[in-house]
């Protein structure tokens, strides 16, 4: 285990910044009660928001998502901290299974989960201390046994080689080493108990000279060629120490000095009693304090650099880079010195010569008991009187994003993001929502709506991880062009289509979708981002809490506003003079804001939420290609797919025969066969043909996915059969367009019929793309190309001004046939006004304009729209929409027949 971890204790497992607090339900004692309060609070919040929106007349399409979002936010707020300990324990259990017991689960509260987390923390702490003790014991044993074993080995080798005679002295030395090994094993076991606080020191008055001589004698049995010199001042000095422990200290210091001294060098051991004068590293006199005694071990080695003077006493610390030793001896020496209430430190030699001076200072009377418990890494810890667990250290887990309550919902389908907090996205979304709430309720679709779309799109695009991709750039440019239609045209239906197509373009660009299924998953992913992005939102809010100025300013402004409204309202209603002053200060507040205040609040929340969800989708797009499902398995036998497709081909051939019969037989044949006029006949099946075209495309797509392509014959069959089906589908598309043209010629033109024509034409274009993909047997590009074609066609349609062209086509038909539906003309929007005012006869134009939805007043800046501006200019000067001509009014609207009336 690293020394840093051993010093600081087990690192906590924290599920997230926002989960560290106990949460609003932290004081509740049971989980069951918390769940009940959570459900009740969420339902109550949803009911309140729903009733407020309904009472204020907020549209349902805006009230419902805001209500759901508020209920979700309340749920997350109330649930904050409830499941955090469980997630932390799951992560800690995974770490413990891998052998890492250094975990602490931080939990606050009084419920069952908190008590379980506390028990888990105590268990983890016990396991961690046991594992730490085991590791330290193995390291210490290996280090401490090395020196006496080496000395005993050297002595035995000398006996075998005949260098030393096996006399009593030599055998006594070998016995002494064996006894030291035995004592050392016992001491190491005591060491473990001492470190855990179980065994006190055994203090005895010991001769300092005997202590040094014993250490030098044992060191002399080693193989290092160095001289040892001992000095004790005064010579009869006795010290109160634990002899076994101090023998380890002197032996380790002597071993370190001998290892770094040159061959033939001298290692000096000097003990000074209380009040004796020594020499400090700077050469000045340095008397020993009267309540302490001092041991100095001086060698003639390279010395210890000042920047490593402290590191040498930590575990594995060394004074140079030459290697040698395990780096545990000096750490053990410090540990024993601190047990005696003293210290050990490294200094340069006092005489200025090369070498190091290791100084031990111990009290004359060591403290009774153990004031501190130390570890071999040099750390100290106050003794424990019970089974207390180490306190948590605020160190977040660095292994990726912390777990959150919504993570299990999405699982591997949408992994958590690995991005930092996003304060720019949060502030930008809130600002765009505020702008939309201020501008949109007072104006029709125009410059204000375009500004909101551009600002939101720019923020989302800037946040995207794919913002430099070619498809993203193309989608962004096309989206800007489509968004501009809300300023160019005043048709109510056009912004709806624009938003639908733009949402597809944006989500495809953000997610990188290519397959059809992945492309269709983009808009739902945008909606789900409101839930998936909650962890990032909580982290972002948590980072802003530490801002010294932001939240104090926000709180101050909010509290001041509430105080002004409450107290100002009370005093204004209680005192007429004060109320008059308030009316003069705020003359237009009731007129401008009061009636739409709730609507603005809902709109603010909705727009900000949509933009914020979009930014999360940009920062952490889901793997929609994988979520769309793997490719299906191909069938084994070709006839399994060829027979169903052949049946569809047969049906299409039968339909084409019927179409040819109707065209060749003409009106009389259709009348005899069906009893319908030709116009009624062509109108009757248009919707079915459109649906059949779409289903045929689905059939082709499914056949391509399941048909085998292993052999050349399989590929020829696939190309031939699907090519035939595609060509027949194009004939169906042409038939449908022909039918609609005949019907419009008979009954007039409408915007709906133009849109249906455009949709059928787009289907035909997709069929052509599929035929090209069939030739290449590669259709990965088709979904994006189809989306690009549809968006481009919508852009061309909007630029072409469809309502004005429909009005012009109907007027031209009136000029040729004398038939005109004035009721339909009056249902068109302002885009058709200039054409109607210019090309219809004055009396008919006045009748239509009197009932046409238009406003002769110019739009304000944020509501400006080119279509409405041109309509206001086209209305005759002085025309009053509320006072139509005498024979006009609603009664003048009618369908003019062939006689022109």
Asked whether 448 and 863 are in contact (CB, 8 A), the reply is yes
pLDDT at 406: 67
pLDDT at 293: 93
Asked whether 463 and 615 are in contact (CB, 8 A), the reply is yes
In degrees and rounded to multiples of 5, residue 805 shows phi and psi of -70, -35
> What share of the chain has pLDDT > 70, as a percent?
73
pLDDT at 390: 34
Q: Among 237-241, 509-513, 516-520, 548-552, which is the least confidently predicted range?
A: 548-552
DSSP string of 461-488, one letter each residue: HHH-TTTTSHHHHHHHHHHHHHHTHHHH
The rounded distance, in Å, linking the Cα atoms of 301 and 298 is 9
The rounded distance, in Å, linking the Cα atoms of 67 and 49 is 6
Both tokens of 763, joined, read 């289907």
| Cα torsion angle, 156, 157, 160, 163, sign | negative
pLDDT at 853: 55
pLDDT at 372: 39
The rounded distance, in Å, linking the Cα atoms of 736 and 693 is 9
Binned at pLDDT 50, 70 and 90, residue 612 comes out as very high
Asked whether 831 and 486 are in contact (CB, 8 A), the reply is no
Element (H, E) at 232: strand 227-233
Asked whether 235 and 270 are in contact (CB, 8 A), the reply is no
Task: Count CB-CB contacts under 10 A for residue 400.
Answer: 10
Asked whether 261 and 229 are in contact (CB, 8 A), the reply is no
Binned at pLDDT 50, 70 and 90, residue 121 comes out as confident
pLDDT at 638: 78
The rounded distance, in Å, linking the Cα atoms of 820 and 848 is 12
All structural domains of the chain: 200-379 (3.30.565.10), 420-527+538-607 (no CATH), 639-800 (no CATH), 803-896 (no CATH)
Helix segments in 274-363, DSSP class H: 329-339
In degrees and rounded to multiples of 5, residue 542 shows phi and psi of -65, -35
Mean pLDDT of 308-326: 61
pLDDT tens-digit profile of 147-204?
Answer: 677 777 777 777 777 777 777 776 777 777 776 677 566 655 655 555 555 556 788 8
Residue 724 or 279, more confident: 724
* pLDDT of 492 strictly over 50: yes
Residue 892 or 642, more confident: 642
* Average pLDDT across the chain, whole number: 75
Task: Count CB-CB contacts under 10 A for residue 642.
Answer: 20
Nearest to residue 736, comparing CAs of 691, 675, 786? 691
Binned at pLDDT 50, 70 and 90, residue 80 comes out as low
pLDDT tens-digit profile of 379-394?
Answer: 444 333 333 333 333 3
* pLDDT of 471 strictly over 80: yes
DSSP string of 804-866, one letter each residue: HHHHHHHHHHHHHHS-EEHHHHHHS-GGGHHHHHHHS-HHHHHHHHHHS----SPP-GGG--H
Mean pLDDT of 84-110: 72
Mean pLDDT of 495-507: 91
Q: What share of the chain is helix, strand, coil (3-state, %, to 5)?
A: 65, 5, 30
Mean pLDDT of 91-99: 76
Asked whether 246 and 211 are in contact (CB, 8 A), the reply is yes
Mean pLDDT of 249-272: 87
Mean pLDDT of 476-491: 91
DSSP string of 426-453, one letter each residue: HHHHHHHHHHHHHHGGGS-SSHHHHHHH
| Cα torsion angle, 517, 522, 523, 526, sign | positive
Mean pLDDT of 66-75: 79
pLDDT at 326: 47
Q: Among 45-54, 188-197, 207-216, 487-496, which is the least confidently predicted range?
A: 188-197
pLDDT at 474: 93
* pLDDT of 543 strictly over 70: yes
* pLDDT of 322 strictly over 60: no
pLDDT tens-digit profile of 401-441?
Answer: 445 666 667 767 787 766 778 888 888 999 999 898 888 88
Mean pLDDT of 617-637: 76
Cα dihedral 14, 17, 23, 27, rounded to 10, equals 40
Both tokens of 823, joined, read 């009721």
Element (H, E) at 39: helix 31-55
Both tokens of 629, joined, read 């499902």
Asked whether 599 and 56 are in contact (CB, 8 A), the reply is yes
Binned at pLDDT 50, 70 and 90, residue 592 comes out as very low
Q: Find where tokens 């009014």 sit.
A: 889
pLDDT tens-digit profile of 682-722?
Answer: 656 666 777 778 888 888 877 877 788 778 887 888 888 88
* pLDDT of 308 strictly over 60: yes
| Cα torsion angle, 771, 776, 782, 785, sign | negative
Cα angle 228, 234, 235; round to 5: 55
pLDDT at 477: 93
């Amino acid at each position: 285990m690293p020394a840093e971890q051993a010093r600081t204790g087990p690192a906590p497992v924290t599920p997230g910044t926002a989960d560290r607090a106990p949460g609003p339900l932290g004081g509740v004692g049971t989980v069951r009660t918390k769940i009940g309060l959570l459900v009740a609070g969420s339902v109550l919040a949803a009911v309140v928001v729903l009733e407020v929106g309904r009472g204020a007349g907020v549209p349902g399409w805006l009230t419902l998502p805001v209500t759901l979002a508020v209920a979700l936010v309340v749920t997350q707020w109330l649930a904050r901290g409830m499941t955090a300990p469980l997630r932390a324990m799951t992560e800690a259990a995974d770490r413990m299974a891998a052998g890492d017991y250094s975990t602490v689960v931080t939990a606050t509260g009084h419920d069952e989960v908190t008590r379980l987390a506390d028990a888990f923390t105590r268990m983890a702490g016990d396991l961690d201390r046991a594992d730490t003790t085991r590791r330290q014991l193995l390291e210490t044993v290996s280090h401490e046994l090395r020196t006496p074993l080496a000395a005993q080995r050297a002595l035995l080798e000398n006996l075998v080689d005949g260098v030393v005679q096996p006399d009593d002295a030599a055998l006594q030395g070998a016995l002494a080493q064996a006894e030291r090994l035995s004592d050392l094993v016992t001491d190491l076991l005591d060491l473990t108990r001492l470190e855990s606080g179980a065994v006190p020191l055994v203090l005895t008055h010991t001769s300092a000279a005997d202590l040094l001589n014993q250490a030098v004698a044992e060191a002399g049995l080693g193989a290092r060629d160095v001289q040892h010199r001992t000095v004790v001042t005064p010579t009869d000095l006795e010290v109160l120490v634990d002899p076994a422990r101090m023998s380890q200290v002197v032996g380790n210091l002597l071993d370190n000095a001998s290892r770094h001294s040159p061959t033939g060098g001298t290692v000096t051991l000097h003990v000074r009693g209380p009040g004796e004068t020594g020499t400090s590293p700077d050469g000045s006199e340095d008397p020993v304090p009267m309540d302490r005694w001092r041991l100095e071990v001086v060698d003639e080695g390279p010395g210890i650099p000042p920047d490593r003077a402290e590191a040498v006493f930590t575990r594995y610390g060394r004074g140079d880079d030459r290697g040698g030793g395990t780096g545990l001896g000096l750490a053990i020496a410090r540990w024993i010195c601190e047990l005696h209430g003293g210290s050990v430190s490294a200094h340069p030699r006092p005489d200025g010569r090369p070498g190091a001076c290791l100084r031990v200072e111990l009290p004359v009377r060591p403290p009774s008991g153990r004031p501190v418990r130390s570890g071999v890494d040099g750390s100290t810890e106050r003794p424990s009187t019970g089974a207390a667990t180490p306190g948590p250290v605020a160190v977040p887990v660095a292994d990726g994003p912390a777990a959150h309550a919504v993570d299990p919902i999405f699982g591997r389908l949408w992994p958590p993001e690995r991005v930092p907090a996003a304060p720019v996205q949060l502030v930008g979304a809130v600002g765009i929502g505020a702008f939309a709430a201020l501008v949109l309720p007072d104006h029709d679709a125009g410059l204000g709506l375009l500004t909101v779309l551009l600002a939101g799109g720019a923020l989302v695009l800037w946040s995207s991880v794919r913002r430099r991709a070619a498809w993203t750039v193309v989608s962004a440019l096309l989206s800007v062009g489509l968004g501009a239609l809300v300023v160019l045209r005043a048709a109510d239906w056009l912004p709806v289509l624009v938003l639908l197509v733009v949402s597809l373009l944006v989500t495809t660009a953000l997610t990188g979708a290519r397959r059809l299924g992945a492309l269709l998953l983009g808009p739902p992913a945008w909606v789900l981002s409101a839930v998936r992005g909650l962890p990032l939102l909580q982290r972002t809010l948590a980072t802003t809490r530490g801002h010294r100025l932001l939240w104090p300013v926000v709180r101050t402004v909010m509290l001041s506003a509430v105080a002004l409204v409450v107290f100002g309202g009370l005093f204004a209603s209680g005192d007429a003079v004060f109320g008059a002053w308030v009316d003069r200060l705020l003359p237009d507040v009731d007129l401008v804001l009061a009636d739409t205040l709730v609507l603005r609040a809902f709109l603010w929340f909705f727009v900000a939420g949509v933009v914020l969800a979009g930014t999360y989708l940009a920062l952490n797009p889901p793997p929609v290609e994988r979520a769309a499902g793997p490719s299906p398995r191909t069938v084994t036998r070709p006839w399994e797919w060829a027979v169903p497709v052949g049946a569809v081909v047969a049906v299409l051939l039968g339909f084409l025969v019927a179409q040819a019969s109707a065209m060749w037989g003409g009106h009389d044949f259709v009348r005899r066969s069906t009893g319908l006029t030709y116009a009624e006949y062509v109108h009757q099946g248009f919707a079915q043909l459109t649906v059949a075209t779409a289903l045929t495309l689905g059939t082709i797509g499914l056949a391509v996915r399941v048909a085998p392509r292993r052999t050349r014959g399989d590929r020829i069959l696939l190309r031939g059969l699907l090519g035939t089906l595609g060509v027949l589908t194009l004939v169906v598309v042409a038939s449908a367009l022909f039918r609609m043209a005949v019907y419009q010629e008979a009954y007039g033109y409408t915007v709906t019929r133009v849109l249906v024509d455009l949709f059928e034409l787009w289907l035909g274009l997709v069929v052509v793309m599929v035929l090209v993909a069939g030739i290449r047997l590669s259709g990965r590009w088709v979904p994006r190309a189809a989306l690009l074609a549809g968006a481009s066609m919508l852009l061309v349609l909007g630029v072409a001004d469809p309502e004005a062209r429909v009005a012009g086509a109907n007027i031209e038909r009136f000029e040729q046939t004398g038939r005109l539906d004035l009721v339909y003309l009056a249902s068109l929007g302002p885009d058709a006004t200039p054409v109607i005012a210019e090309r219809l006869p004055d009396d008919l134009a006045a009748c239509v304009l009197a009932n046409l939805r238009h406003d002769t007043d110019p739009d304000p800046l944020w509501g400006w729209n080119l279509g409405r501006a041109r309509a206001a200019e086209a209305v005759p000067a002085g025309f009053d929409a509320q006072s139509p001509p005498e024979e006009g009014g609603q009664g003048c609207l009618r369908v003019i027949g062939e006689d022109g009336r």
